[in-house]
Structure 1
Amino acid sequence: MSVAHERSALDRPVSLLEHARRLSRLFPDGPLPDGGRPWPDDGDHPSVPPPERRLALTAVLREFIGDTALSPADLHDRCTRLAVDTGDVTRVLSELAPEPSQRLLDAARWLVRNGWDRRAVLVGLGLLCGHAEQRDVPAVRTVGLLCFADRLAVEALAKVPGAAHDLIRLAERSRRPARVLAVRALTAHADPIVRQWVRSTPRDLLSSDHARQIAEEHGLAELLGRPTADDALWDQAGNLLLAMTSTRNYRSEISRYQEAAVVCRRWVALAGRRPATLQRAAVLTMVAQDLCTGPAAPAVGGLRRGLVERINHVLSSRPWVEMLRRGARSDDPVEARRAAWVLSEVPRNDVPEGRFAIRVVVPDPDPVGFPQVEARVVVDGMPVVAAAFDKGPAESPERLVHHGRLRATGEPREVMLAEAYCTEGCCGGLYTTIVRDGAEVVWKDWRSSMPGDPPQELRFDAAEYDREVARAEQDHSWEWPARTLARLVADRLRADPTVLGRWDCAPGWCTAWLKEFDTARLTFTHPARKDFFEDPSLQFGLVIDVRGRAPEVLAAEIIESLRNTDPKSVAEMIGGSKDGAEKLGLVRREPSRW
């Protein structure tokens, strides 16, 4: 080797594989800090349109395939001049080299083991995907700990016979998307340990359709019917049932699960034999909510009343109540509020009687995921949205109930009862037209983005209907302090537009999320109105800590502050461009709490 070549080799950064090994030794139990950053290569990839990226990668690979004099190091150096992402590698290689030669695979192994540039390592992983062997597993698993490589590493390991346990070890130390890929790849695996791991996937990582696939593939109903059904299986089954009712993957799947009623019945029958824990109590409570007014109601039919009664019996028994009362006194705020929530929800969990009912449902106030409060309308004991629309949750109580949208007058008014998970503009919603017709209220002219016939026209006794709507509008018992504050502030800003108007601002939304239990968020825009679409506009946001404060007192203080101080001077700019801010005489700064 010449002196020049020796110097070049010595000047090269450490390989990404060695970088991952070092970090893994320092942090052996979980994900690498910041995904393994900073990388030893020379910076982020340039911004290049996808078609150009793929053409450039194709040209480099064709050159290497056609010129046998080129070494793996030559291929590496050419990759450093590319812009490459995971999708590019998979797509280009599937078209250009679906059955790579031994030379190409040897080069791929060299890139994974010796590459110091992310682009080159991604190309190596892509080439090995579907062609890796047991000897490749340690390197692929280790380099996959770096977040830029996790998805391709998961895909590569998933196709190596006998590498399931290595894939699990990588998945448990990877980002959410990579772990989801691993769980999907292992869903049908025959190994009992692997199947246990798949069923134990946290609910916030499971889409509703994947939860159903796991339940079907693993024979969940049959497993729950065995005498050997243990605590772990019971926990897994409850997790899967709740995941199947979620609409956060564009639609609920519980109604498509043919054994839903059997699984619910067997799972509830086993509940009383489980040791009382807060997590189990929360799952039981949410399943009961879904059986009463949610997506599980149509799936189990006439069984639901008995199932709910049995769940309430378990949660009201002495061991469970004592555990919950201890939890409600905990110094841990999350534990305390979750335990208090279960205690308050048990009396509410019943199948509504009568022709027309409105139920506000507050899910588990656990900060994991993004639980949403829903206003569920129930007709003849069956939830309207769950029976007619599976693409998203019912509307929030603020939008559907407290603004008077359910009130019936002689003037027909179309009302949206539910919006698709991905927003109304993408996948629509469920709408009905409400009108008073003499002594009756009529819901008619249904409009839905669901296939098939819309719901039939519904008629209600007007007096009974009005009483239930009025009751629901005045019922704020479900709120927690931050949500109460948000309602009070929003109502006062709506009642007096001059509060923000004096600063040439207009109110946006004000709400509180269960994920941020003690926090409310207020938004507003400036200027208050635009004369033309092209005119600049900015959105501002305030984050309000409600912990330990009376909502009524704090709301009054906030309104007074907005009257006396320009809110643009204290709020964070969360929407609008730097150029737009300059045109309005303001400076755009990156928000820190949004």
Structure 2
Amino acid sequence: MSALPLYDHALRLMHASPDGLPPRRGFTLSRTPDAGPPPPALSREDAAAAVRSALDPLPSDPATLHRRFAELGVRDRHRTLVRRVVAELPLPDERRDAARSLARRLARTGTAVPPVIAALALLARVGDAEDVPCLTALSALREVRGPAVQALEAIDPRRAAVLMLGHDDRPELRPLVGALWRDDHADVLAQLEALPMAAEFIGGATARRIAQATRLLDLLHRHPTRTALLGRAGRLLVRMVSSQDGSTEFLARRDVPALYETVVARAGLLPPALDHHATLLSLALDLSSGTAVLLDWPDGRRAALLESLGHLLAEPRWAAAADTGTDEPEGRVRARWIRRTGRRPFLPPAAPGRLRIEVVAGDPVDREPMETRVLVDGRPLVPAVFPHGPAHRPEFLLENGSLRAGPEPHDVQLAEAACTEGCCGALTVTIRRDGDQVVWENWRRPPLPGWGRSTPSLPAERFDAAAYDAEVARAEADRSWSWPALELARLIREGLTARPEPLRRWDMTRGWISTAPQDPDTVEVHLWYTPGLGSGAPDGHPLVLRWSVPDDGTSPGSQAGAALRRLAEEDPRGYTQVSAGTRERAEELGFTWPYGS
């Protein structure tokens, strides 16, 4: 590594940058070969011990820490260990001033990555506003960007959000980031109002950073009559609280209820258009049974906001908006969703009781998930205890009777992490009947962010058995949230579950069958194909085949009958295409691999 301090290196690179911004992935440090033979590689345990030895006691000057790290073999590859050890380092009050002084000098004069990361991890614990310029500069370097932004999040969350947006790969964000970097208020406003808002572009995390970086609530207060800004604020709020990514960190932000208050209070200023109707309906669905219920609301305030939205969207001019702008396929899909869903968040609970089950199909244009929301005492259970993904769809919890309390205890997975169970886990509970009560107990979930292995256990929930059974039965029978293509998918699933033999004739079993996220009017039938399966001697790994069945407008029952007859009488290999598996397996079985090389 060059003897030039990393901080000076970052300043020079930033000064030479044409627009004063670091590249989206950060600058990369130039490296010089180490003199002499490389030191022996340390095991993880030895490296952790070496980092602790170098930091305890904390040295009084940066040079000592550089020397200790070098002598003990702490290298760039140990950066994650350095962060973890510093985060766990005992730091009593009498040592905090010394730690802060050391960290500040290290951050500005450190010439190697491990000591600078130690400085950044210390500043995350003891830094203050004085450290923001230094942390901002160091965040431009890819090798120390993560620890620098983490320290900024503890000191200046708004600046950290600007930096995180700057590290985003999408060029559409660059004009907004440039305006934020320059603190150009007029340009921030203009770029925010022009920002593309497609769901695949602005996800939950990005929306939360944009709201924080732009000081969205302040912008709304300063520009109370700008309807373009109000519309953008509504869309960002919908994305912020979306259950798609499972994150609930926004619940700790005190400005989110105020954002709801402001957007709902001014909603009448918005032109009654299809997009705005979808935005306000999405906010109402979340205020009714979604994550927004968990925000810290004053008594009665959430209900008042919901009532206000209900009155507005019931006005003839807003009701008519669901019939306009439907020349495009997306508009027609969204209009049908509004007509089907429009009054659901404003209806009172079907029956009193501790348990309430609501199936919510979100905005199809935003590709919002369909959820089986379980509310206990009015609070949505999944986001309250599992900040990793949305509640499961009704075919996983209602169609198969999973929530019923039978004579034997059984486990039910209520939700899975958006990134899959194998990555960030799932939420599972045991349901059993105990006399005149139904008990949910033995909860299993992954550690919560920031809790490590000390995630608190969840208490058992007890329900009156008669009321419980009635609510589950009601939810299973209620299909008012559904639409024809989804009913077609359900009928095909039920038919193949009742009679799997025809598929085994083709060496196949049923896979996932539902409407396509990008086209809710088309059913995707997935079949697992393994040669020899029907004879009891499967050969090799399965290949997943997909058959797309568009809703033709006739009754779901007649369409399902025709689909099941075709699956029974005609080899699906002739009218399906490969959906998953491997290129080698597809070609081995005579299929064309659809995804390129």
Q: What TM-score, normalized by structure 1, do the two folds share?
A: 0.66
Name the CA shift for 1:486/1:409 in 2 (closer, same or farther; >3 Å). same
Does the CA contact (< 8 Å) of 1:203 and 1:243 recur in 2?
A: no
Letter in 1 for 2:172: R
Q: C-alpha displacement at 1:274, in angstroms?
A: 2.2
Contact 2:312 2:318 in 1 (8 A): yes
Deviations 1:79-127 (A, max 9, x none): xxxxxxx999964x54469xxxxxxxxxxxxxxxxxxxxxxxxxxxxxx
1: distance between equivalents of 2:31 and 2:554? 62
Asked if the contact 2:426/2:446 (under 8 Å) is kept, the reply is: yes
Helix, strand or coil at the partner of 1:415: strand
Say yes or no: does 1:265 pair with 2:261.
Answer: yes
* Whole-Å separation in 2 of the counterparts to 1:89 and 1:222: 30
Which residue in 2 is equivalent to 1:464? 467
User: Which residue, out of 177, 194, 197, partners 1:202?
Assistant: 197
2:512 to 495, 509, 512: 509
In 2, Cα distance between the equivalents of 1:524 and 1:517? 19
Following the alignment from structure 1 to structure 2, what is the Cα–Cα distance between the partners of residues 575 and 213?
A: 34
Q: What is the alpha-carbon distance in structure 1 between the residues aligned to residue 25 and residue 181 of structure 2? A: 28
Match of 1:178 among 144, 165, 171: 171
Offset of 1:373 from its aligned partner?
A: 0.9
Alpha carbons 1:485, 1:520 under 8 Å: kept = yes
Cα distance in 2 for residues equivalent to 1:391 and 1:578: 32
Instruction: Determine which of 270, 273, 294 is the counterpart of 1:274.
Output: 270
Q: Equivalent residue for 1:22?
A: none
Query: What's the C-alpha RMSD, in Å, of the aligned pairs?
Result: 3.1
Give, in whole Å, the separation in 2 of the partners of 1:381 and 1:519.
34
Q: Is residue 377 of structure 2 the alignment partner of residue 380 of structure 1?
A: yes
Equivalence for 1:138: none
Kindly indicate whether the alpha-carbon contact (under 8 Å) linking 1:371 and 1:515 is maintained by their aligned counterparts in 2: no
Helix, strand or coil for the counterpart of 1:484? helix
CA gap 1:183/1:395 in 2 versus in 1, 3 angstroms: farther
In the alignment of these two chains, the number of paired residues is 427
Deviation at 1:243, TM superposition (A): 1.6
Contact 2:217–2:259, Cα closer than 8 Å, also in 1: yes
The structure 1 residue matched to 2:576, chosen from 571, 574, 578, is 571
User: Within 2, Cα distance between the matches of 1:383 and 1:390?
Assistant: 12
Q: 2:305 aligns with which of 304, 307, 312?
A: 307
Which residue of 1 is the match for residue 240 of structure 2? Answer: 244
1:437 to 434, 439, 458: 434
1:386 positional shift = 2.1
> SS state of the match for residue 453, structure 1?
coil
The corresponding residue for 2:355 is: 356
Residue 455 of structure 1, CA deviation: 3.2
Shift of 1:189: 4.1
SS in 1 for 2:170: helix
Equivalent residue, structure 2, for 1:222: 218
Q: Where do residues 314-463 of structure 1 align in structure 2 (5 Å cutoff)?
A: 314-326=312-324, 330-350=326-346, 352=349, 354-366=353-365, 369-451=366-448, 452-463=455-466
Instruction: Mark the CA change 1:445 to 1:560 in structure 2 (over 3 Å): closer, same or farther.
Output: same
- Give the Cα separation in 2 of the matches to 1:89 and 1:300: 38
CA, structure 1 residues 571+306, in 2 after alignment: closer, same or farther (shift >3 Å)?
same
Name the SS of the counterpart of 1:573 in structure 2. Answer: strand
CA apart distance, 1:182: 6.0
The answer (yes or no) to whether the contact 1:428–1:448 under 8 Å persists in 2 is: yes
Task: Report the residue type matching 1:319 in the other structure.
Answer: R
Alpha-carbon spacing, 1:530–1:394, altered in 2? closer, same or farther (3 Å): farther
Contact 2:274 2:324 in 1 (8 A): no
Does residue 521 (structure 1) correspond to residue 520 (structure 2)? The answer is no
1-side partners of 2:177 and 2:420: how far apart?
Answer: 26
For each residue in 1:246-269, what CA deviation from the matched residue of structure 2 results, as whole angstroms up to 9, or x when unmatched? 344452443132211111112111
Give the Cα separation in 2 of the matches to 1:413 and 1:187.
Answer: 53
Q: Is the CA contact (8 Å cut-off) linking 2:245 and 2:390 kept in structure 1? A: no
Secondary structure in 1 matching 2:480: coil
The equivalent of 1:52 in structure 2 is none
- SS of the equivalent of 1:272 reads helix
What is the identity, as a one-letter code, of the residue corresponding to 1:354?
G
Letter in 2 for 1:470: A
Aligned residues of 1:519 and 1:543 also touching (Cα < 8 A): yes
Return the alpha-carbon distance in structure 2 between the equivalents of residues 438 and 579 of structure 1.
56
Distance 1:218 1:288 in 2: 24
Deviating more after overlay: 225-234 vs 179-188:
179-188
Q: Contact 2:583/2:593 (CA < 8 Å) preserved in 1? A: no
C-alpha deviation, 1:293, in angstroms: 1.3
Check the 8 A contact 1:297/1:383 in 2, yes or no: yes
SS in 2 for 1:246: coil
- Give the fraction of aligned pairs with identical amino acids, expressed as a percent: 34
What is the TM-score normalised by the length of structure 2?
A: 0.66
Tell me, in whole angstroms, the C-alpha distance in 1 between the residues paired with 2:529 and 2:214: 55
Report how far residue 344 of structure 1 moved.
3.0
In the alignment, the residues of structure 2 paired with residue 378 and residue 287 of structure 1 have an alpha-carbon distance, to the nearest angstrom, of 18
What 5-or-longer segments of structure 1 have no aligned partner?
1-85, 98-151, 156-170
Partner of 1:580: 585
Contact in 2 for aligned 1:187/1:214 (Cα 8 Å): no
The CA distance in 2 between the partners of 1:408 and 1:426, in whole Å, is 30
- Which residue type is aligned with residue 194 of structure 1? D
SS at match of 1:371: coil
- 8 Å CA contact 1:246, 1:252 repeated in 2: no
**Does the CA contact (< 8 Å) of 1:188 and 1:217 recur in 2?**
no
Find the aligned partners of 1:88 and 1:336 in 2 and give their Cα distance: 40
Look up the equivalent residue of 2:485 and give its one-letter code: A
Distance apart, 1:201 and its partner CA: 4.3
Change over 3 Å in CA distance of 1:340–1:532 after alignment to 2: closer
Cα distance in structure 1, aligned partners of 2:293 and 2:390? 14
Distance (whole Å) between structure 2 residues aligned to residue 487 and residue 453 of structure 1: 38
Secondary structure at the aligned position of 1:292 is classed as helix
CA contact 2:429–2:444 (8 Å) conserved in 1: yes
Q: Is the 8 A contact 1:499 1:559 kept in 2?
A: no
Contact 2:430/2:442 (8 A) holds in 1:
yes
Q: Secondary structure at the match of 1:563?
A: helix
Question: Is the CA contact (8 Å cut-off) linking 2:274 and 2:335 kept in structure 1?
Answer: yes
Q: Deviations over 1:470-508 (max 9, x none)?
A: 111122221122111111101100110112011221111
Deviation for aligned residue 1:547? 3.3
CA distance in 2, matches of 1:389, 1:187: 33
Instruction: Report if the CA contact (8 A) 2:412-2:431 is conserved.
Output: yes
